[in-house]
Amino acid sequence: MAKKEKETTGQAGFALGRENYRLMAIGFVIIVIGFILMIGGKSEDPNVFNPEVFSFRRITLAPLLLLVGFGFEIYAIMKKPKSDGQ
């Protein structure tokens, strides 16, 4: 029994294309913006309640932005990179 050598037709390189990494960077920025929108709202005095904790920005907008960012990251990873020959 002779061992057959495998021919390599592809080039060694990155698993994802340049566009995928660019889309991942955009998704990361969206996620960071979502976390930035979520911060704040604490009261200076612990005995005083600050209703700003329950603002639209913190309980609706920021979590939706995070979900969009994570969904965008999944899309960026799953998107098939374009081949250079076509």
Token look-up 């294309």 returns: 17
Residue 70 lies in a domain: yes
Rounded Cα–Cα distance for residues 42 and 32 (Å): 20
Residue 45 lies inside a defined structural domain of this protein: yes
**14, part of any domain:** no
Say what the pLDDT of residue 25 is. 97
Q: Is residue 11 part of a domain?
A: no
**Residue at 10 is within a domain:** no
Distances (CA, A) of 32 to 37, 39, 60, 63: 9, 11, 16, 11
Residue 62, domain extent: 37-79
The reported pTM is 0.76
The residues, any chain, with a CB within 8 Å of residue 3's CB and separated by 6 or more, are: none
Q: Count up the domains in the chain and report the number.
A: 1
Query: Is 44 part of a structural domain of the chain?
Result: yes
pLDDT at 5: 52
DSSP E strands, the chain: none
Q: Which residues of the chain register pLDDT less than 70?
A: 1-12, 83-86
Is residue 41 one of the residues assigned to a domain?
Answer: yes
